[in-house]
A and B are shown apart, each in its own frame.
Chain A
Amino acid sequence: MKPNRIVTALQLAPASVYYSALFGAPLILLVVYSFYTTENFDFIPQFTLDNYVTAWTSDVYRTYFARTLRISAITALAIAVVGFFYSYVITYTLRAHRAVLYFLVLVSMFGGYLVRIYAWRSIFGAEGIANSALMSTGIISEPLDLLRNGEFAIVVAMINFYLPLGILPIYAAMQNVGPGQIEAAQDLGSSRLGAAGKVVLPLALRGVTVAFVFTFIATAAEWLTPQLLGGTEDQMIGNRIAYQFGAGFDWPLGSALAVTLVVVLALLLGAMFTLVRRWIR
């Protein structure tokens, strides 16, 4: 069948218009605002690079960016590893139940981001579930400082929240690798884990990379989790961006920080994609 070109164009037009007007335009404007000046509670279209100078040269923001990238990398890596084995196990080992096991992961994505952060507080608190469990079993005698200065609570809560987002692409990629290929590898003498490494990983690597990238991006712009679960020196760049759009009231600086974050992420992840692609070849 040869679909009529005009029909195709008409079918694509509404969504294209919508994307341009409500995704493209706002982001272009964000870039434009990053060159504005803040004066007397107004944002003035007076072209300046000051916001970028601040965003790129100050120690303060360098620290925020470095910390953000570190926390996000740890989180995304953990998600990629946990997500890979989860997808592997449900696709091949527990194949009969994979639909249910996949669906359960999807459901855990919902149910309120905020209230969940508070749930983590009741788990990690000094008198929380984790500490009382560890103390009652005698593993520790003094409560652990899980919620205080340190990135532990932030990372765990973010893994919890973004793991489904990571499992999604890995699971999808694995559906292209039939169980037959694994059995073949096992017949050739590989262990089950060996088969996972030798056969599935290269074929699912695209999915794993996408999972890493998705969760890295999502966590790099987090702000509520560090605000509510982090200590005084665990705030991330998202907190500064949100602050500039709130009480700080410097939208142009906030925009410049946002644009910088996007550029840094694009460069880092672009480099990673290139490396992975070369490695696959």
Chain B
Amino acid sequence: MRRLARWRRTPWASILYVALVLLFLFVPLAIVVLFSFHASPRMAFPFQGFSLRWYEEIFTDVEILRAMGRSAIAAVTTGLVTAILGTLAGLGIVGLNARAKGAVMFFAMIPMSFPALLYAIGLAVYYRELGVGFSLGATIAGQIIQSLPFVLLVISATLDRFRFSLIEAARDLGAGAFHAFRTITLPIILPAVLGSMLLAMALSADEFIVAFFTAGQDKTLPLMMYGRLNVKLDPSINAIGTVLLVATSALAFISARRTSKESL
């Protein structure tokens, strides 16, 4: 009887719904990963056996390795710069009154909802007008704008929950401003800073549109993949996609664990 009751109480419809949505979300990713191990150069069913040949191909291709290097540089730079700018701005926002804070956050969030294509062409126009040309640096500068809102969101959410009375107490006890920051504020916000830095890295590594319009000859991994589509369409692009997927979701995973206590 009791077992039956539990069976009845189990929300089967909800479980089914969640499962279907997740299935829908992950089917294309599963196909990308599956065909990256395909023994044949065709990217369609029927599946003709497993092989690591495409991974061997991409990890021995100098151009692809170079592109991986560029993507890594872009990710690390974007992560570091956004973390620094975002943390400083987050601390600054705390010092504003509610109205100013709302306004600043509103403007700061615009790049998050601004269409990437339109931002990318705006950057292309800008770089042309400045005469600086297109390069990896030009792309990174744009990717920082794209991930800054996310970082700011996470950090200010953390700081919102932060009790400033702690600092006041420390200051009352004679601690210097910097000392108070180092010993109290920093340890509390550090997980959020690191977490959002990793998120920014993941966003940068996966970013295509800004890179497409501003990287010039400095092709990042997603651009290299796009270029390959024109020359040889085979599962090596799935292998690149899988590498990107593993790298970005690992970053996102660590990021979520870092920030989960604070803001999720």
Real binding pair: yes
Q: Hey, which bits of chain A sit against chain B, CB under 8 A?
A: 1, 3-5, 7-12, 14-16, 18-19, 22-23, 25-27, 29-30, 33, 82, 85-86, 89-90, 93-94, 99, 101-116, 118-120, 122-123, 125, 127-129, 132, 157, 160, 163-164, 213-214, 217-218, 220-223, 238, 241-242, 245, 251, 254-255, 258, 261-262
Q: Does B96 contact A (CB under 8 A)?
A: yes
Cα(A242)–Cα(B145), bound, Å: 21
Q: Hey, which bits of chain B sit against chain A, CB under 8 A?
A: 11, 14-15, 17-18, 21-22, 24-29, 31-32, 35, 43-45, 84-86, 88-89, 91-96, 104, 107-108, 110-119, 121-126, 128-129, 141-142, 144-145, 148, 152, 164-165, 167-168, 171, 177, 202, 206, 208, 213, 222, 225-226, 229, 233, 237-238, 240-242, 244-245, 248-249, 252-253, 256, 260, 264
Cα(A11)–Cα(B148), bound, Å: 15
One of B95, B168, B245 near A8 (C-beta < 8 A): B95
| A175, chain B: closest CB distance, angstroms | 9
Which B residues are CB-close (under 8 A) to A105? Answer: 22, 25
Contact present for A218 and B115 (CB under 8 Å): yes
Contact present for B44 and A122 (CB under 8 Å): yes
Contact A106 to B252, CB < 8 A, known contacts A8-B92, A99-B260: yes
Which A residues are CB-close (under 8 A) to B240? Answer: 112, 115
Contact present for B145 and A7 (CB under 8 Å): no
Contact present for B119 and A11 (CB under 8 Å): no
3 nearest A-B pairs in the assembled complex, by CB-CB distance: A11-B92, A221-B115, A115-B241
Cα(A209)–Cα(B202), bound, Å: 27
Which B residues are CB-close (under 8 A) to A18? Answer: 85, 144-145, 148
Which B residues are CB-close (under 8 A) to A107? Answer: 249, 252-253
Cα(A116)–Cα(B29), bound, Å: 7
| A133, chain B: closest CB distance, angstroms | 10
Which A residues are CB-close (under 8 A) to B253? Answer: 103, 107
Number of A-B contacts (CB under 8 A): 236
Contact A220 to B115, CB < 8 A, known contacts A11-B89, A25-B126, A122-B31: yes
Which A residues are CB-close (under 8 A) to B115? Answer: 217-218, 220-221, 261-262
Contact present for B164 and A1 (CB under 8 Å): yes
| 11 additional contacts (CB under 8 A) given A11-B92, A12-B89, A262-B118 | A7-B95, A25-B126, A94-B14, A108-B29, A111-B29, A112-B208, A112-B222, A122-B43, A128-B44, A245-B124, A258-B118
Cα(A86)–Cα(B177), bound, Å: 46
- Secondary structure call for the A interface: helix
The closest CB in chain B to the CB of A110 belongs to: B248
| B28, chain A: closest CB distance, angstroms | 4
The closest CB in chain B to the CB of A157 belongs to: B28
Cα(A128)–Cα(B45), bound, Å: 7
Cα(A26)–Cα(B245), bound, Å: 31
One of A3, A15, A214 near B86 (C-beta < 8 A): A15
Cα(A121)–Cα(B89), bound, Å: 43
Contact present for A22 and B31 (CB under 8 Å): no
Which B residues are CB-close (under 8 A) to A29? Answer: 122, 125-126, 129
Cα(A8)–Cα(B112), bound, Å: 24
One of A19, A23, A114 near B229 (C-beta < 8 A): A114
